[in-house]
Chain A
Amino acid sequence: MSSLGSCLTIRAAILAVSLSAGLSAASRADEVQAKLDYCKTCHGLSGQGYRGYFPMPRLAGQQQEYLQSQLRAFVERRRVNPIMANVAHALSPSMVAALASHFRHLDPRPIGGAPSRSLAAGKRIFDEGLPEANVPACSACHGSDGRGQNEIPRLAGQLYEYTVGQLTGWSRVRGQGTSVDTSAVMAPTAHNMSRSQIEAVAAYVSTLP
Chain B
Amino acid sequence: MSIITRSACTAALLMVLSALTAPMATAVAGEPTVSVQNCTWCHGTSAQGYAIAPRLAGQRPAYLETQLKSFHERFRDNPLSRQYMWSATAVLGPQAARDLAAYFATIPPRPANDGNRNLAATGRTIYMEGIPDANIAACYACHGPNAEGIRDIPRLGGLSRFYLKARLEQWAQGYHSVPGSPMPLVARPLASAEIEALASYLSFIK
Does A87 interact with chain B (Cβ within 8 Å)? Answer: yes
Q: Among B137, B150, B189, which residue has its beta carbon within 8 angstroms of that of A42? A: B137
CA distance A161 to B104 in the complex (A): 29
- Flag if A37 contacts B135 (CB, 8 Å): yes
CA distance A42 to B186 in the complex (A): 9
CA distance A12 to B130 in the complex (A): 15
Report B-chain residues with C-beta under 8 Å of the C-beta of A42.
137, 141-142, 182
Looking at the assembled complex, report how far the CB atom of A104 sits from the nearest CB atom of chain B, in whole angstroms. Answer: 21
Does A133 interact with chain B (Cβ within 8 Å)? Answer: no
- Flag if B141 contacts A45 (CB, 8 Å): no
Does B134 interact with chain A (Cβ within 8 Å)? Answer: yes
How many contacts A-B (CB < 8 Å)?
A: 75
Interface residues in B, total, Cβ within 8 A: 34
- Flag if A11 contacts B186 (CB, 8 Å): no
Looking at the assembled complex, report how far the CB atom of A146 sits from the nearest CB atom of chain B, in whole angstroms. Answer: 26
Q: Max chain B CB contacts within 10 Å: which of A1, A50, A89?
A: A1
Does B11 interact with chain A (Cβ within 8 Å)? Answer: no
Q: Among A11, A37, A51, which residue has its beta carbon within 8 angstroms of that of B185? A: A37
CA distance A21 to B140 in the complex (A): 35
What are the interface flags for A15-44 relative to B under an 8 Å C-beta threshold, 1 for contact and 0 otherwise?
100000000000000000011011011100
**A interface residues with partner B (beta carbon < 8 Å):** 1, 3-4, 7-8, 11-12, 15, 34-35, 37-38, 40-42, 45, 50-54, 56, 82-83, 86-87, 89-90
**B interface residues with partner A (beta carbon < 8 Å):** 118-119, 122, 129-138, 140-145, 149-151, 153, 180, 182, 185-186, 188-189, 191, 193-194, 196-197
